[in-house]
Structure 1
Amino acid sequence: MSENTTEVIVGGAVLAIAIGFLVYAGQMTGLSAGGGQGYPLTASFRSLEGVTVGTDVRLAGVKIGTVTDIDLNPQTYRADTEIEVRKGVAIPDDSAIVIASEGLLGGNFVEIVPGGSLFYFEPGAEIEDTQGAVSLVSLLMKFVTGSEQSGGAAQ
């Protein structure tokens, strides 16, 4: 009887740890039971290199939302993007949205650079001040080839 009780206790502990791990993993990946707990904003980018649906949206390094939809606009040839921002996070209506990189080997994420306005974006509003992704390969090629040389005029 003692061995059977020990097995039940150990099995219960393993099950509790597994459930805890699943809850933790769900929170870290942004999956939650109450999806859609934010408000949508839109933006149009020249380049969304490295950004996909589900990419983090951050403000001051803190995740405040995710990219929910990406579509190519056939008239402007820009990437129309929809993001969802967590409720309770008010974004000033003169803020900018940029594609930032986590480093040389890291992925890209969407960063909101807050403005100083006293008015805030309404749900569904468009953030007009955008900056697309910067290609690291293009930057390295410019550096290596020296295509942006200074010294054209005599001083």
Structure 2
Amino acid sequence: MKTLIRENGAEALIGLLVVLLAAWFVSFAWSRTGGGGPADAIRVKALFPNAAGVNIGTDVRVAGLKVGTVAAQTLDPASYQVDVTLAIDPKLKIPKDSTAAITSEGLLGSTFIALVPGGDTTPLKNGDTIIDTQGSIDMMSMIGQFINKSGGDAPAGGGTLAETPATGK
């Protein structure tokens, strides 16, 4: 048995290092993707008509700064809207009448949920629902509408023959 350990000690050590590295990677990935958010986070819900681009771990921001993550999302069977659970930093006292909008950092930027604080003195607490929300905008459909309506009300190909100048005859 001792000779077996001596002969395979290096392989066993390398195997142990690989397992430890894999455990560290799983822990790192879990924390970077939100992993459900911190245990002490304030969990509030928001109903969105369209949540395209939002996944578990998506940032929640106030004034451009990350204040939380998306912890869960489900389809509400009554309204067919996306029920998104936000895990927000408990140190922040975000007003109860705040609004939430799904937006992006630009045409090719990542999607995030922007919270716009309201004026209420009562802060959000666990289980509250943000009423005023705006879903994500379908950029491809907007570009398609712009392209299809770029000519105005005039028919394609210019005007009619009655609008052409006379040749003098």
Asked if Structure 1 and Structure 2 have the same fold, meaning a TM-score greater than 0.5 normalized by the shorter chain, the answer is yes
2:63 paired residue number: 60
Change (3 A) 1:51 1:30: closer
Alignment map for 1:82-97 (pairs within 5 Å): 82-97=85-100
2:42 paired residue number: 39
2:119 and 2:53 map into 1 onto residues whose CA distance is 29
| Number of residue pairs the alignment of both structures matches | 127
1:124 and 1:80 map into 2 onto residues whose CA distance is 12
Q: Does 1:112 align with 2:103?
A: no
Q: What is the TM-score of this pair, normalised by structure 1?
A: 0.72
1:94 and 1:31 map into 2 onto residues whose CA distance is 25
Listed one character per residue, the Cα deviations across residues 1-54 of structure 1 (whole Å, up to 9, x for unaligned) are xxxxxxxxxxxxxxxxxxxxx8xx77x82669x931311000110000000001
Q: Does 1:144 align with 2:147?
A: yes
Q: What is the TM-score of this pair, normalised by structure 2?
A: 0.67
1:78 paired residue number: 81
2:113 and 2:128 map into 1 onto residues whose CA distance is 17
2:34 and 2:81 map into 1 onto residues whose CA distance is 29
Q: What stretches of structure 1 move > 2 A for 4+ residues in a row?
A: 28-32
1:51 paired residue number: 54
Greater C-alpha Rg:
2
Listed one character per residue, the Cα deviations across residues 88-140 of structure 1 (whole Å, up to 9, x for unaligned) are 11111111000011111112101101111122112210000000000101111
**Alignment-mate amino acid for residue 84 of structure 1:** A
Change (3 A) 1:30 1:50: closer
1:139 alignment partner, SS class: helix
Report if the CA contact (8 A) 2:69-2:88 is conserved.
yes
1:137 and 1:104 map into 2 onto residues whose CA distance is 10
What stretches of structure 1 of length at least 5 have no aligned partner?
1-21, 151-155
